[in-house]
């Protein structure tokens, strides 16, 4: 099962990217994770799209299309999505062959605030739902107060956080199998 990981933060020391990287070792057997590059996408502009897809957008669309599932780790910016994540979703969303159609997706969020990005997840679910992606409903994983849950190298130090992600990934595997049967 090929999973494409998308982090909604470009920060080098991003907690979301660190959590996504940690998923490599928390995944069930048979699942692999490749990280998407979204930092070099231009801001979406229909004129650029119409003039011919930039290489970065082509790569992202192809990677989403080829993946069995997409795993999104998202920060919460002012109660919603970071602009880079929304931009990536938009680049992959335009017809023909919009990449989110029927794609299994799992979402989790990591934030410095105590709610762990509870609000951003519902915006992501709403956006991807209308693109006909199949977003895993549960378990929901919100990793709050992230400063105390990672070490300086980005390794997860909090056992409960590792368990939440492990359960999410197991549930995602089952979800993908179920969606592929449809």
Ligand X SMILES: Cc1cc2nc3c(=O)[nH]c(=O)nc-3n(C[C@H](O)[C@H](O)[C@H](O)COP(=O)(O)O)c2cc1C
The residues binding ligand X (CB under 6 A) are 9, 11, 14-16, 75-79, 110-113, 117, 146
Q: Which CB, 5 or 75, lies closer to ligand X?
A: 75
By C-alpha distance, which of 20, 136, 159, 41 is closest to 91?
A: 41
The residue to which tokens 């990217």 are assigned: 17
Using CB positions, name the residue nearest to ligand X.
113
Phi then psi for 22, rounded to 5 degrees? -65, -25
The nearest distance, CB 146 to ligand X, in angstroms, is 6
Q: Which CB, 28 or 39, lies closer to ligand X?
A: 39
The nearest distance, CB 55 to ligand X, in angstroms, is 26
Distance from C-alpha of 153 to C-alpha of 143, rounded to nearest angstrom: 17
Q: Which CB, 154 or 171, lies closer to ligand X?
A: 154
Q: Which CB, 146 or 165, lies closer to ligand X?
A: 146
Phi then psi for 81, rounded to 5 degrees? -75, 150
The nearest distance, CB 150 to ligand X, in angstroms, is 9
The nearest distance, CB 71 to ligand X, in angstroms, is 14
Give the three-state DSSP class for 5.
strand
The nearest distance, CB 170 to ligand X, in angstroms, is 23
- Please state whether beta strands 134-135 and 104-110 pair in parallel, antiparallel, or not at all (unpaired): parallel
The residue to which tokens 């995944």 are assigned: 27
Distance from C-alpha of 27 to C-alpha of 171, rounded to nearest angstrom: 10
Q: Which CB, 49 or 77, lies closer to ligand X?
A: 77
């Amino acid at each position: 099962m090929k999973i494409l990981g998308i982090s909604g933060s470009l920060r080098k020391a991003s907690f979301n990217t660190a959590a996504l990287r940690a998923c490599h070792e928390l995944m069930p057997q048979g699942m692999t994770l490749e990280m998407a590059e979204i930092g070099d996408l231009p801001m979406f502009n229909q004129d650029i799209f119409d003039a011919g897809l930039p290489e970065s957008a082509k790569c992202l669309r192809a990677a989403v299309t080829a993946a069995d599932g997409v795993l999104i780790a998202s920060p919460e910016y002012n109660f919603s999505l970071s602009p880079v994540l929304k931009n990536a979703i938009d680049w992959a969303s335009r017809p023909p062959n919009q990449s989110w159609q029927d794609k299994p997706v799992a979402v989790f969020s990591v934030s410095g605030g105590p709610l762990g990005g509870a609000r951003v997840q519902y915006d992501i679910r709403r956006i991807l739902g209308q693109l006909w992606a199949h977003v895993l409903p549960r378990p929901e994983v919100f990793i709050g107060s992230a400063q105390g849950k990672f070490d300086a190298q980005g390794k997860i130090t909090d056992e409960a956080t590792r368990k939440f992600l492990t359960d999410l990934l197991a549930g995602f595997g089952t979800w993908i199998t179920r969606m592929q049967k449809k």
